[in-house]
Chains A and B, each alone.
Chain A
Amino acid sequence: MTQYVIIGDGISGSSAAETLREEDPDAKITVITDEGEPLYNRILIKEHAKGKLPEAPISIHDEDWYQEREIDLSLNTHVTSVDTDAKVVNTHDSGEIPYDKLLVATGGTPTQLPVENSDADGIHHFWTFEDARGIREHAENADKGVIVGAGLLGIDFAAVCGAQGIEAEYLMRGDRWWRYALSGDGAEIMHEGMREVGVEPVFDSGVDHFETDDDGHVTAAVDPNGDRYECDFVGAAIGLNFNTEFLRGSGIERDNGIVVDEHMQTNVDDVYAAGDLTRFYDVLLGEQAQNGSWGSAKEQGRVAAVNMAADEEAEGFQWVSSYSITHFDFPFLSFGHPTLGDEHAERRYSDTEWRRIAFKDGRIVGGVLIGDLSPQSKFKQLMREQRVVADQADVLLEQSVDLDDLAAPQEQ
């Protein structure tokens, strides 16, 4: 009987556990998590923090779910190291757990701002349900906010401030929000969305240090220009540190994440990885890449489990990731790798509609759609087909995209 151990009960670990049970009914499966609750919907916790969603619908599995599938679940159990020669996982208080095949699915932890007083009371990071509960409780009583981190997670804090009636300033380092994927035109639509919910973007700013009162509660953020922003609530989302420190000495190759092939295999026999923390071989992109999205993490967990159970390279991971922002009146969707590419095409259609497509070697590798999501399935299809279309960007920028208007693909 094969013994599978999965570290992490986020969506990638949990989806792997479910698939392993389907693929290998007799196996012993253990899932270890350092959180105090089984899998919940991490992409809905922001709705809880906004005060819009009760707790219950955010939970995905209860402990019975694991029992029914004869999966051992260890809550509140932190893995401290992995010995890949002896094939054991060491935990802080549950001793050694042996494995035949191991899946590392430990995701990331928000990076703390490296500035004075960044651990003051009232400064929040956002990853867990516990974080969301704390953010909600505090946000309901806060008046003035500061947000730091001009990316996809930072904007969730802007939405929390908007929904909870906190007047906030969003301090950004450059001249716009998510400058790696958006031009000025696209970003301006997002800035307008922020202003409409009471959050004012501040450009060429950031945080030099925080000020606190005698009780250690944050009272202001001071930016590198010396401008002072009073606040009693801060949301910081400047990036993720992948949870791989317990793999030190294991021989598993890491490079800001765990390096895996398209089968989710690491360089060490019988060790796999899945989810946010992988630097996986992206067959569509033709190079190593990273995704930070729910759908991708779920699929990586499933693919890893299929290959673990088959004990061979049975299935490769091939996926077009997508990530939405649903906080404003207009929709927003980024897909693939919108920050990569060697060529870009974009167009603005109205005050709330804009589109940008990223190409590499003539093929679509990602993009951002604001306001009008109608072409998303067509662009994802072109990505999967790896069609060379950059020379026909005009067709892709038509308000209504018709793939039949593209020249027939050349025989390769």
Chain B
Amino acid sequence: MNMAASERRRRSVRIEHADARLEQVESVAASATVRHVDQLDTETLAAVYRAVSEDRPVSTAATDLEPGEILVFTDYYRVARV
């Protein structure tokens, strides 16, 4: 087994505390903060993809997501605190 990979996995399990959901939104207010998924780092993109494809919550601490911001992916999603 690749030790570096398993160590990384253990670490990510430890810090992950899912505190937000991605809620689909239909329209965007002028005052909103909006980011495209290509502005996200690799791990945040992975978390967003998991959240959308598996309908799972995400951790804002373990990613660089900001509560309240809107993400442009295959739909528009708001990062909403749970």
Interface residues of A (CB under 8 A from B): 41, 43-44, 47, 52-58, 293-295, 320, 322-324, 326, 328-331, 372-374, 376-377, 380, 403-404, 406, 408
Q: B1: which A residues are within 8 A, CB to CB?
A: 404
Q: How far is the CB of A262 from chain B (nearest CB, A)?
A: 20
Mostly helix, strand, loop or mixed at chain B's interface?
Answer: mixed
The interface bits of chain B over 38-67 (1 if a CB of A lies within 8 angstroms of the residue's CB, else 0) are 110011011001100100000000000000
A373 to B53, CA, bound (A): 10
Contact B38 A56 (CB under 8 A): no
Q: How far is the CB of A44 from chain B (nearest CB, A)?
A: 6
A404 to B8, CA, bound (A): 13
| Contacting residues of chain B (1-55) with chain A, CB-CB under 8 angstroms | 1-2, 5-6, 28-34, 36-39, 42-43, 45-46, 49-50, 53
Contact A326 B37 (CB under 8 A): yes
A330 to B2, CA, bound (A): 32
Q: A377: which B residues are within 8 A, CB to CB?
A: 42-43, 45-46
Q: How far is the CB of A301 from chain B (nearest CB, A)?
A: 14
Q: A380: which B residues are within 8 A, CB to CB?
A: 42
The tally of residues in B whose CB lies under 8 Å from a CB in A reads 27
Selected from B28, B39, B49, B50, the residue in CB contact (under 8 A) with A53 is: B28
Q: A295-B38, A322-B45 are in contact. List 7 more A-B contacts (CB 8 A).
A: A54-B30, A57-B28, A57-B32, A294-B38, A322-B42, A331-B74, A404-B6
4 closest A-B pairs (Cβ-Cβ)?
Answer: A56-B30, A57-B34, A377-B46, A373-B49
Tell me whether A403 and B74 are in contact in the complex, defined as CB-CB below 8 angstroms, given that A54-B30, A57-B28, A376-B42 are known contacts. Answer: no
Contact B34 A44 (CB under 8 A): yes
Q: Nearest A residue to B73 by beta-carbon distance?
A: A326
A55 to B39, CA, bound (A): 18
Sampled A-B contacts (28; CB under 8 Å): A43-B36, A44-B36, A52-B76, A53-B28, A54-B30, A55-B30, A56-B30, A56-B31, A57-B30, A57-B34, A57-B70, A326-B36, A326-B72, A326-B74, A329-B74, A331-B49, A372-B53, A373-B45, A374-B49, A374-B50, A374-B53, A376-B45, A377-B46, A403-B5, A404-B1, A404-B2, A404-B5, A406-B2
Q: Nearest B residue to A325 by beta-carbon distance?
A: B74
